[in-house]
Amino acid sequence: MAEPTDRQMNGTDGAGVFLVLEGGEGVGKTTQWSRLADTLRAAGHDVVAVREPGGTPAGDAIRRLLLDPASTLSPESEALLFAASRAQLVRDVIEPAIARGAVVLVDRFLLSTYAYQGAGRGLSMPALRQVNALATGGRTPDLTLLLSVPLDTAQARMQARGTADRMEQEDVAFHRRVRDAFEAALAPSWQHAHPEVGRVVAVTADASPDVVTVRCLEMLVARWPERFTASSIAALTASQHA
């Protein structure tokens, strides 16, 4: 009997899988993005891991401008720069990787724009939606893992880093609005009204990095049991005892 193709395993029109990690500052998102990429590669997956903004030469230049504490940007300029970086990333990296059957793992995507520039900055959601429809070309994540910790824990983690980028330097009220927007995105009614974001599921991240990584992997196994088998978790276990 022939082995099932990636297309059959995914149950989607595309051959690859498009995964996004989301969350506010200090939730451990970037740590999990790196750990998940390493673990899935160890389990034999072709993984393309990129972050937003960034992932292309143009995107990396935009990232430096957006996160530089010395940058003075209007909310509108900020939103358009994020969209510009996203447009380049989708066309140069994400689409080709999905077409060849890779697992694409992105640190932030469209949901961050709705949370940060929409709820955080107070920009028009219809305007953000329209701009980003052009930026993404209709590409929707297959699954978004939304990491969350209590706000005071996140704030303590940011303070412990010693340095803060332009977004991290915003006040507590800003980060509270962002957190509330992320939490709102977990509601089925919100996801139904925003199909361009795709499915969003919660991952509690107030545990050790190892535990959180396993929680993330379990979400993948539950969604794609034929593709992300227990071998992914076994790869993590093996790396911990290497």
What's the whole-number average pLDDT of the chain? 89
> 3-class SS at 141?
coil
pLDDT of residue 242: 55
pLDDT at 1 over 60: no
Within 90-171, residue ranges assigned H as helices are 95-99, 110-112, 125-136, 151-161
Instruction: List Cβ neighbours of 68 (8 Å cut-off, separation of 6 or more).
Output: 165, 166
> 3-class SS at 204?
strand
Read off the pLDDT of residues 91-136 as tens digits, 9 standing for 90 and up.
999 999 999 999 999 999 999 999 999 999 999 999 999 999 999 9
- How long is the chain? 242
CA distance 236 to 214: 8
pLDDT at 3 over 50: no
The answer to whether residues 181 and 114 touch, using CB atoms and an 8 Å cutoff, is yes
Residue 89 in tokens: 């990333």
| Domains of the chain and any CATH numbers | 18-240 (3.40.50.300)
Pairing mode, strands 143-148 and 200-204: parallel
β-bridge mates for residue 48, sequence order = 104
pTM assigned to the model: 0.88
pLDDT at 50 over 80: yes
